[in-house]
Amino acid sequence: MAVKALSTRVTPRARPPRVSGGLLVGYLLIALGALFCLAPFYLMLVYATHSAAEIYSVPTPVGLGSALGENLAHLLEVVPFGRNLWNSLYIALLSTAATLFFCSLAGFAFAMYEFRFRELLFSGVLATLLIPGFLNLVPFYLMMNAFGWLNKPLALWLPGAASAFGIFLMRQYIGSTLPSALLEAARIDGCTEFGLYWKIALPLSKPALGALGLVSFVGAWNNFQGALIVMQDKNTATVQLALGNLKGAYNTDWGALFAGSALAVIPLLVLFAVFSKQLIEGLTAGSVKG
Question: How far from chain centre, in Å, is Cα 10?
Answer: 55
Nearest Cα neighbor of 101 from 156, 167, 154 is 167
Lowest average pLDDT, out of 8-17, 54-63, 115-124, goes to 8-17
The answer to whether the pTM exceeds 0.75 is yes
- The answer to whether residue 127 is domain-embedded is yes
Is the model more confident about 245 or about 93? Answer: 93
Half-sphere exposure of 164 (CA within 13 A, CB side): 11
Is residue 177 situated within a structural domain? Answer: yes
Q: What is the number of alpha carbons within 13 Å of residue 200 lying toward its C-beta?
A: 22
Q: How many whole angstroms separate alpha carbon 67 and alpha carbon 202?
A: 49
Assess if residue 239 is contained within a domain: yes
Q: Is the pLDDT of residue 16 over 80?
A: no
- The residue among 213, 233, 211, 229 whose CA lies nearest residue 221 is 213
Which pLDDT value is given to residue 24? 85
Q: How many domains does the chain have?
A: 1
Task: Please say whether the dihedral angle defined by the alpha carbons of residues 203, 207, 212 and 213, taken in this order, is positive or negative.
Answer: positive
Q: Is residue 264 part of a domain?
A: no
Residues 190-217 have a mean pLDDT of 92
Q: Give per-residue pLDDT as tens, 147-160.
A: 999 999 999 999 98
Whether the pLDDT of residue 194 is over 90: the answer is yes
* Domain-embedded: residue 13: no
The answer to whether the beta carbons of residues 93 and 156 sit under 8 Å apart is no
Asked which of 27-36, 91-100, 248-257 is least confident by mean pLDDT, the reply is 248-257
pLDDT at site 14 = 56
Q: Which residues contact 107 (CB under 8 A, 6 or more apart)?
A: 166, 167, 168, 169, 170, 171, 172, 173, 174
Tell me, yes or no, whether 15 lies in a domain. Answer: no
pLDDT higher than 60, residue 4: no
Containing structural domain, residue 144: 82-251+274-284
* pLDDT tens column, 222-251: 999 999 999 888 888 899 998 888 876 557
Lowest mean pLDDT, pick from 18-32, 42-56, 126-140, 205-219: 18-32
Which pLDDT score, from 0 to 100, does residue 253 have? Answer: 81
The predicted structure's pLDDT at residue 104: 95
Kindly indicate the confidence band of residue 95, based on its pLDDT and cuts at 50, 70 and 90. very high
Query: Per DSSP, what are the bridge partners of residue 252?
Result: 247
Q: Could you tell me if residue 137 is inside a domain?
A: yes
Is 184 contained in some domain? yes
Residue from 158, 29, 173 nearest 94 by CA: 158
Domain containing residue 163: CATH number: 1.10.3720.10
